[in-house]
Structure 1
Amino acid sequence: MWTTSSLTNALTPTVVALGNFDGIHQGHQQVILPVLNDDPQIRSTVVSFSPHPKEFFTGQPRKLLTPRSEKAFQLSAIGVEQLVLLPFNRELAALTPQQFVEEILVNHLQARRVSVGQDFRFGCKRSGTATDLQAIAAKSEIAVTIVPLLTFQGERISSSAIREALQEGNLQGANRMLGRSYSLVGEVVQGQQVGRTIGFPTANLQLPPEKFIPKQGVYGVRVSGVGIDRKLGVMNIGNRPTVNGTKQTIEVHLLNWSGDLYGQMLTVELEQFIRPEQKFASLDDLKAQIKADCETARTMWLPVS
């Protein structure tokens, strides 16, 4: 998939889905679906923003469900051909709704069709609505599809709702809203190697700093990487209080597997929240609990897809 932050490098003409799309959850997918097409001459394109507008206006770093590389991967998996990440700056924020349509959609992207969610807002001070976009774009003969909001258990599916579920350890709810398992993608780096001294070697994951980390605790997971295809494992997110840890780590133990993973990129799909992190009286107690966690992971229902 072609990814660019420069409008001059965008492949045109396009059909465009507009939005922030952090998470590429089921609601986002409904917005993207109308721009997937079989015409090789027209690029199915997602137009998003970097940094997130809320980060730009507040000046506070924003943790993302899908950092740039993950967003590109998820979009490619559903058939999007191009990701255009508009640099969100003062110039872009100052554009009126009319200017946004004319400069971005018409002049640069040569958009033929646009899809947005019902709650989409754009232009200076978020003054433009989805229906405004529809009216303005019609003057340039660009059709705009407005997609109704998608709900889960009576509540709107949103990136914020997914973050809240992940913070609470409600992995089932988060994954239902996402339409897939929440995943962590990172490089295996050197750790303190405490796990191997008690018989449970772990891969210590280093994630992008902007990645949203769910509730601390132990998870049943599926792990993929070079030579590893969704292998069952147990992951701990936490400070490792039993060994006087002071820094949060993310460590994965693969069941019935051994090998050298240093330097590899792993994708860890979170399938089940097993328990919160806790401090044990001794390493023997910790070892017994990890053994029990592994048995829980082996016996619980973990979907293959």
Structure 2
Amino acid sequence: MKIYNNIDEFKLIENAVVTIGTFDGVHTGHRKIIAKLQELAKEIGGETVILTFFPHPRMILHPEDQDLKLITTITEKAQLLEEMGVDHLIVTPFSRDFSNLSALEYIHDILVAKIGTKRIVIGYDHRFGKDRKGGLEDLQRLSKVYDFEVVEIPEQDINDVAVSSTKIRTALLSDDIALANQFLSYPFFITGKVIRGDQLGRTLGYPTANILIGESYKLIPADGIFAVTVEVNGAPHKGMAYIGHRPTINGMTRNIEVNIFDFNQDIYDQQIRMNFHHFVRSDIKFNGLDALVVQLAKDRESVLALLS
């Protein structure tokens, strides 16, 4: 997959089959749309193009809203789209100037002049251009002028996408990993850099890799213990992850850390991917470190059973 960080980097191609959206999570609903995109491209010997935006439009248009959390970072989204076999991903920097393009400018300057769209797959409720005045009817009207075909995504499929996104976020924030993964069609994951902690886990017999998430908008599941697999240099390892404030030692900051089973490599400053498979238990305060160690042994057995 070719990735473009600006629409101007993209070179016109023949028979571009295009869709537009945020595609947060690249979940089951999105995958229906992408499958349709690929089917249409195959019919005309074309290539698939996804036009997405970063930052997320809400971050620019509503900066006061600090509650927006996304299922995938822009890098994670690109990785998932590449795994699906998308040909081209255009990441358009979203700005107020971009949001002020008229519907006609959006269609002519972006879709036609810059991409060379031959088919566009779009939802009945997709809005674009200044004040979100552009929509499906504009595309259908101008398709005759600029010689492209509009393929409408059925209302039910659009609703599935919206419902899935909402349900995934809700599930992750309530530790329903199973439901989130069902909607995603893959294990929810986070990627981050391994940083040095205070080495407490090592003294307890459960050394952990502390993970720094570089993107503040990345959604993190609710606190607790999780059965995970950790990808280090592409190789998977079983482990148990912890998210929380470490109440047993009156911790002040929220930590994300993982005890990787049967692993002793030095991975400081490396990027790792942690896939969430099962929720094990909530985060609780124990009556001292000895009680915590006893529980960690039980957690390890639970995780091994869940991942077996």
Report the TM-score, using the length of structure 1 for normalisation: 0.90
Partners of 1:225 and 1:40 in 2: how far apart? 40
Cα deviation for residue 235 of structure 1 reads 0.3
Partners of 2:231 and 2:7 in 1: how far apart? 34
Q: 1:223 aligns with which of 214, 225, 230?
A: 230
Cα deviation for residue 196 of structure 1 reads 0.8
The within-5 A match list for 1:78-97 is: 78-97=84-103
Q: State the percentage of identical aligned residues.
A: 32
Does structure 2 conserve the Cα–Cα contact (< 8 Å) formed by 1:26 and 1:157?
Answer: no
Cα deviation for residue 155 of structure 1 reads 9.1
Cα deviation for residue 201 of structure 1 reads 0.7
Higher helix share: 2
SS of alignment partner, residue 46 of structure 1: strand
Q: 2:53 aligns with which of 37, 49, 52?
A: 49
Distance 1:76 1:269, change over 3 A: same
Structure 2, unmatched stretches of 5+, are none
Partners of 1:290 and 1:83 in 2: how far apart? 43
Partners of 2:210 and 2:84 in 1: how far apart? 30
Structure 1, unmatched stretches of 5+, are none
Q: 2:166 aligns with which of 160, 163, 179?
A: 160
Cα deviation for residue 129 of structure 1 reads 2.9
Counterpart in the other structure of 1:290? 296
The within-5 A match list for 1:247-262 is: 247-262=253-268
Partners of 2:234 and 2:181 in 1: how far apart? 26
Distance 1:160 1:106, change over 3 A: same
SS of alignment partner, residue 139 of structure 1: helix
Counterpart in the other structure of 1:214? 221
Q: 2:112 aligns with which of 106, 114, 135?
A: 106
Does structure 1 conserve the Cα–Cα contact (< 8 Å) formed by 2:197 and 2:210?
Answer: yes
Counterpart in the other structure of 1:3? 3
Counterpart in the other structure of 2:19? 17
Output one character per residue of 1:32-87: Cα deviation in whole Å (capped at 9) or x when no partner: 22333459985421101111111111113533211111111111000112211222
Q: 1:123 aligns with which of 125, 129, 154?
A: 129
Partners of 1:12 and 1:34 in 2: how far apart? 22
Partners of 1:41 and 1:164 in 2: how far apart? 40
Does structure 2 conserve the Cα–Cα contact (< 8 Å) formed by 1:67 and 1:208?
Answer: no
Partners of 1:218 and 1:126 in 2: how far apart? 43
Counterpart in the other structure of 2:78? 72
Partners of 1:184 and 1:235 in 2: how far apart? 11
Partners of 2:227 and 2:218 in 1: how far apart? 20
Partners of 1:189 and 1:98 in 2: how far apart? 49
Counterpart in the other structure of 2:278? 272
Root-mean-square deviation (Å):
2.3
SS of alignment partner, residue 157 of structure 1: helix
SS of alignment partner, residue 15 of structure 1: strand
Moved more, 188-197 or 132-141: 132-141
Partners of 1:142 and 1:170 in 2: how far apart? 43
Does structure 1 conserve the Cα–Cα contact (< 8 Å) formed by 2:238 and 2:307?
Answer: no
Partners of 1:216 and 1:141 in 2: how far apart? 52
SS of alignment partner, residue 56 of structure 1: helix
Does structure 1 conserve the Cα–Cα contact (< 8 Å) formed by 2:193 and 2:212?
Answer: yes
Cα deviation for residue 261 of structure 1 reads 1.9
Q: Are 1:26 and 2:33 matched, yes or no?
A: no
Distance 1:206 1:39, change over 3 A: farther
SS of alignment partner, residue 269 of structure 1: strand
